[in-house]
Structure 1
Amino acid sequence: MLKIFDAHCDMLLKLWQNPAADPWDGAGLHTNLKKMVSHGAKIQSMAVFAPPELPLVDAYRAAEAQIQILKDKILKHHPQFKLITSKNQADQLKNDEIGLILALEGCDCLGHQPEKAAVFHNQGVRIFNLTWNYANFFADGALETRNAGLSKYGEKLAEAIGELGGWIDVSHLNERSFWDVLEKGKHVAATHSNCHALMPHPRNLRDSQIQALIERDAPIGITFVPDFTSRQKPSIAKLLLHLEHICSLGGAHHAGFGSDFDGIEETIPGLGGYEEYDHLLNELYKRYPADLADGFVYRNFADRIPF
């Protein structure tokens, strides 16, 4: 049976922004529970994202509110969905169960207190992106112009996440912060990034970064963001060129997918929501042997869960 590990979506953000939305079959969601059940989901990373314009206190409240939405609106009423906090739990999911991993997309809500990572870890968060696209107390993001790396707080946070056994997500970091994380961090992943060599966007990874992640045995999630895929007429075929490029760098057993569904306004034709994952997978299995394709779709992330 087909199993999908999607390393990033923003469904919780949409549910927080629209309290009336139904997580089961909400029409305005790229990803909802019904779509996941019907289209092969096995593990889905659920981002917790506090918009960067929020003051610190409000950012903390927004993050906690989104975690509570997961617990109250999803886990409580839909028991086939399970919060995954360890690889053992992921490996023991029953055939009809779907695992959800909490990811903190930007640690702004921690202020300048890296020790607060433990608070969110205790609530189930296992993936930590130190910052979003801009600077905070910990690191500079991909669109930050000052080009700094990790601060002393960021170094402490990277070490704290390592001690907790969490993944540090490098997808939104600028290059200096990326290299600092590889030096200071223990477990790293890129949950939703494409290849700079094919589409030179600041959010995409350069070949040297991809190769460094492969050397660290870190998974890399190709993302469905049109602007990160191609300058003209993004398509599933052009998206798969990013997969092929990672393979050409030695990453055939490290590449996976992190859709960024519900975190994007525009979508690639044929990939308008989780229900259209089938279109991507049909093309994938035409191009690659089944065992290799199975790795892209599930194993390359699932087998590397560090917690």
Structure 2
Amino acid sequence: MIFDAHCDVLMKLYLDPDKLSFQSKEDMHITYPQLNECGSKVQLFAIYIPSYLKPGQRFQAALEMVNLFHKRIIEPHPDVKFVTSKEDIDNLAQNEIGAVLTLEGAEAIEEDLEKLETLYRLGVRSVGLTWNWANAAGDGALEPRGGGLTNFGFEMIDFLNEKNMWTDVSHLCEKSFWDTVEAAQYPIASHSNAYSICPNPRNLKNEQIEALIKKDSVMGVTFVPPFLNKKGSAELTDVVRHIEHICSLGGEDHIGFGSDFDGIDQTVKGLSTYKQYDNLIGTLQRYYSDKQIKKFLFENFYKRFPFGCIR
């Protein structure tokens, strides 16, 4: 069983709804046939707002992605179930897949907590405060000034805590990360790697990884080649290098995967689509026990999924 904490299928469908098909095996990195055939149990689908959209257009785009989620992913596939709580995951039948909505960046809510509450009511269960740049919530990983969270960012975290939702620290700059880890009750890193292995500003330094471990959080190792290897190209063994480093910090029970499939142009050699998760599993079996691999693939994220959200 695979629990993948991040993909950008919804963005791709939003940008090209007439050309791309979730039913095709080949149109995207993640499609229904691949999930169905390759062991998916829970897949998180991010709402990411393209940067060219202006204020006033962004929340509408988020609503359109929620609609695409239901029309193209949930409704045509009886074995794909809309998941909003851990209980929903527990209730999945053996052949069923859970699909979860997440939000990547506060741009969509335009400094309006009522919009965040609307997305919560529509089923969003994990929220990343920023993408790479600054927004109303705080500074992202590539924002030059590297400031922390704003008052609005802290208000967002208060809301997420109240509703038992995940606060995603991937894409935050260091100061925003530390502000978030201190304030959030349920932080995760959906798709980030180890900075000491590959010094990319999107990756997490040892102290940050150790802070997530201390908070009993989980970190999704991601398949983005520039986050895996300084050369920019990557192989399956590069994924293992990051896993091994996180384990060396005490993170065996805090590692998962967040592929970032359909949000990337480059892919890992041998891991170019969801169907090649099998290649990753085969590589992991050379280094880890079946028990450890089950933790990485499913159990570590599953254990931290909110038990139930507050209505």
TM-score bucket of the superposed structures, by smaller chain? over 0.9
CA distance in 1, matches of 2:109, 2:46: 16
User: Which one is further off, 197-206 or 14-23?
Assistant: 14-23
CA distance in 2, matches of 1:97, 1:39: 12
Give the TM-score of the pair, scaled to structure 1: 0.97
Q: What is the CA distance between 1:18 and its match in structure 2? A: 1.1
Root mean square deviation of aligned Cα: 1.0
One-letter amino acid matched to 2:273: G
CA distance in 2, matches of 1:227, 1:280: 18
Please list every run of 5 or more consecutive structure 2 residues that lacks an aligned counterpart in the other structure.
none
**Equivalent residue, structure 2, for 1:56:** 55
**Counterparts in 2 of 1:1-307, with a 5 A limit?**
3-20=1-18, 21-25=20-24, 27-232=26-231, 233-306=233-306, 307=308
* SS of alignment partner, residue 237 of structure 1: helix
Runs of 4+ in 1 over 2 A off after TM superposition: none
One-letter amino acid matched to 2:297: V
Q: What is the CA distance between 1:115 and its match in structure 2? A: 3.8
**Alpha-carbon displacement from aligned partner over 1:171-227 (angstroms, at most 9, x marks no partner):** 010000001011211111000000000000000000000000000000100000000
CA distance in 1, matches of 2:263, 2:62: 15
Please list every run of 5 or more consecutive structure 1 residues that lacks an aligned counterpart in the other structure.
none
One-letter amino acid matched to 1:212: A
Q: What is the CA distance between 1:26 and its match in structure 2? A: 5.4
One-letter amino acid matched to 1:237: T
Give the TM-score of the pair, scaled to structure 2: 0.96
* SS of alignment partner, residue 9 of structure 1: coil
Quote the sequence identity (%): 40
CA distance in 2, matches of 1:53, 1:12: 16
Q: What is the CA distance between 1:52 and its match in structure 2? A: 2.2
One-letter amino acid matched to 2:302: A
Q: Is the 8 A contact 1:115 1:157 kept in 2?
A: no
Q: What is the CA distance between 1:69 and its match in structure 2? A: 0.4
Q: What is the CA distance between 1:28 and its match in structure 2? A: 2.4
Q: Is the 8 A contact 1:115 1:160 kept in 2?
A: no
Q: What is the CA distance between 1:110 and its match in structure 2? A: 1.1
